[in-house]
Amino acid sequence: MAVLKVIEVMADSNKSWEEATRNAVAHASKSVNDIKSVFVQSQSAVVKDGGITAFRVNVKIIFEVH
**Residue among 1, 59, 66, 52 nearest 25 (CA):** 59
pLDDT given at position 46: 97
20 phi-psi bin (left φ>0, alpha ψ -120 to 50, beta other): alpha
30 phi-psi bin (left φ>0, alpha ψ -120 to 50, beta other): alpha
Q: Please say whether the structural domain 3-65 has been given the CATH code 3.60.15.10.
A: no
Top-confidence residue, 38 or 66: 38
Residue 1 has pLDDT above 90, yes or no: no
pLDDT given at position 54: 98
Segment (H or E) for 19: helix 17-28
Mean pLDDT in the chain? 97
